[in-house]
């Protein structure tokens, strides 16, 4: 029920942000480049975990995505595939849907009120789903 409510909140936000895109630099998936890492709540992780299960499980996906010779520590997300695409794109957490990068392309400014509405909805859902830890934790701590 709560997971479904979150999926609906994702769908509403995705619809509003549909006209926007980016240059697929994957900067936002390299957390040491940006100094920002998404915090993922338990209810968000439930959706990610289901997607990972369909791909063989969390550890299998992380192992497949791992780079063997990192030149510098760029904080690469374990869910970023070798093809530069998110392994769980349709299930990605809210923080990965918001176009915070200043290179966003689209018709004007990203409607921040819609992003704020989605964040408030996530907060409401998460407080019910995980009353003792509604804020979640950094994405890499899920691995």
Residues lying near ligand SF4 in the complex (CB under 6 A) are found at: 29, 77, 79-80, 86, 92, 96
Nearest to 130 by CA among 47, 45, 50, 42: 42
Residue placing its CB nearer to ligand SF4 in the complex, 88 or 125: 88
Considering the complex, what minimum distance in angstroms separates the CB of residue 86 from ligand SF4? Answer: 3
Distance of alpha carbon 69 from alpha carbon 15, whole angstroms: 38
Nearest to 65 by CA among 89, 82, 83: 82
Q: Where are the alpha helices (DSSP H) in the chain?
A: 2-17, 31-34, 42-54, 58-65, 112-129
Residue placing its CB nearer to ligand SF4 in the complex, 6 or 29: 29
Considering the complex, what minimum distance in angstroms separates the CB of residue 80 from ligand SF4? Answer: 4
Residues 106, 14 contacting (CB under 8 angstroms): no
Nearest to 31 by CA among 85, 76, 69, 63: 76
Residue placing its CB nearer to ligand SF4 in the complex, 77 or 125: 77
Considering the complex, what minimum distance in angstroms separates the CB of residue 92 from ligand SF4? Answer: 4
Considering the complex, what minimum distance in angstroms separates the CB of residue 42 from ligand SF4? Answer: 16
Residue placing its CB nearer to ligand SF4 in the complex, 64 or 128: 64
């Amino acid at each position: 029920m709560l997971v479904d409510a979150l999926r609906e909140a994702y769908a509403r936000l995705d619809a509003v942000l549909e006209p926007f895109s980016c240059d697929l630099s994957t900067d936002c998936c390299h957390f040491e480049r940006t100094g920002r890492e998404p915090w993922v709540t338990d209810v968000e992780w439930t959706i990610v975990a289901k997607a990972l299960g369909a791909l063989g499980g969390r550890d299998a996906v992380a192992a497949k995505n791992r780079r063997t010779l990192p030149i510098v520590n760029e904080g690469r997300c374990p869910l970023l595939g070798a093809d530069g695409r998110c392994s769980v794109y349709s299930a990605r957490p809210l923080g990965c849907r918001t176009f915070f990068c200043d290179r966003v392309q689209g018709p004007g400014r990203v409607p921040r009120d819609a992003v704020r509405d989605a964040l408030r909805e996530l907060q409401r859902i998460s407080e019910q789903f995980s009353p003792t830890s509604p804020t979640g934790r950094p994405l890499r701590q899920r691995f």
